[in-house]
Amino acid sequence: MRRRLALALATCIALSACAPTFDWRDSRPEGSRARLMFPCRPASHARSVALAATTVEMRMVACSAGDTVFALTFADLKDPARVGMALDELGLALRSHLHSPEGAASQAVAVPGMTPNPLAVQWTLTGQLPDGRTVQERAALFSYGTVVYQATMLGPRLDAEAQDTFFGALRVGP
């Protein structure tokens, strides 16, 4: 009986150790023209924000898996002249929210289907949240037509494989 109990306990421990933190699923957030993978079931939120000298409805689709938040935020500026300004403002907001140094690492980003823009970048930041917790953030800022996007992962320590999956699956277009 003890042997069976020990075997059953060992099996339960082994199975729980194999439970995936990330349960990847294909997602096409309504109204976004984007396709990506989320490691959990995302919830959707919307609110009006000031962006690029206008007020727009900004929509966010996000979820948390493990200790990491995965999100796609997007807004239609309806004016191509405002897209560059919006991308720049989103980058400034990223850095200021995390109290990240001005010299945070950025590089050009190429999301399949995106509209080419010299202000489309990917940021890798380490900083602090307003409550003092240290976090890492990776965010891609890009556009498709007049819609600006921000794909983000935020957590105490970002998993490299999860980053590859989340950002690697990202696409925009018709």
The domain that contains 110 carries what CATH number? 3.40.1000
Residue 7 lies in a domain: no
pLDDT exceeding 90 applies to what percent of the chain? 72
pTM of the model: 0.85
Residue 49 lies in a domain: yes
Residue 6 lies in a domain: no
Cα 6 from Cα 93, distance rounded (Å) = 54
Residue 40 lies in a domain: yes
Domain that holds residue 118: 22-172
Residues 148 and 74 sit within 8 Å (Cβ to Cβ): yes
Cα 16 from Cα 165, distance rounded (Å) = 23
| The pLDDT value given to residue 97 | 82
Number of compact structural domains in the chain: 1
